[in-house]
Structure formats: C-alpha cells, structure tokens
Amino acid sequence: EAFAPLDHGINEMYLMHGTNIRASLSVGHNGVNLRAAGTHRGSHAGDGFYMSESITKADEYASDDRGEAGAYYDDVYSVVVLRVTMGKMNYTEHFDRAVAAASIGPAAEYDSLLCDRLKAVQTFR
C-alpha cells in the first residue's frame, strides 16, 4: 500500500528528490543513505537530505551518469518520490545555514526544516 492515507499528525507527506539513476536505484533497494546527503550538489542550508514538493525543483537536481566510467544510463534522469515523516517542522521563508542549525539536530526543538522558497523569492530557484 504505497499510497495509503498519509498520517498528518506526524506531518507525513510525499516529497521528491532529484538525483542520478544509480542513486535512485540504490534508494529503492537499500533506502536513503543519509551519509551521502549533500555530496551531489552541495548543501545550501547545511547538512541534510533535501526534498521538494515541486517536481520542477527536484528536476533541477536530477542528472544522468554521462562522463562516468561504464556510463550505462546516459540521458536517463531520475527523481525519487518518497513518503516522508517530517515530524515537528520549522517553517521559514529564510533559507540559510543559521536557520537550519538552530532548527534541527539532536538538541533542537524541531525534527525538520521547511523553507518556502516560492514565498521567499517568488521562484523555486
């Protein structure tokens, strides 16, 4: 039941993560590897696993494996749709490392950070 009703009491939602096909296949087989978070395209607001409600935003981070040894997946781009528990979210329109550091982590008040880029800068970019 991949699309069973979401539990809004724990802020469960479907979000998208743009990546390469090999990482997508790994997520499907092994789950999310948080040690790889931020290694593909950086980490604008600090360490973490970045996801989006917008397919167009997630698509900006999708890539193929062109140029890699044994590049079997040239011109194949990937976005993973994940069912995510956000827990207690800190909602902000100010996307930076200071907000992220104060928001999440073992000693923080929140479980996750939700930055509304559309409201902040009228675009997902």
Selection from 101, 113, 104, 96 nearest residue 15 by Cα? 113
Q: Give the distance, in angstroms, between the CA of residue 71 and the centroid of all CA atoms in the same chain.
A: 24
Q: Compute the distance between CA of residue 119 and CA of residue 101 in angstroms, rounded to an integer.
A: 21
pLDDT at 67: 67
Q: What is the pLDDT of residue 125?
A: 52
User: What stretches in the chain show pLDDT beneath 70?
Assistant: 1-2, 36-47, 67-71, 95, 120, 122-125
Euclidean distance between CA atoms 32 and 23, whole angstroms: 9
pLDDT of residue 118: 74
CA distance 79 to 15: 10
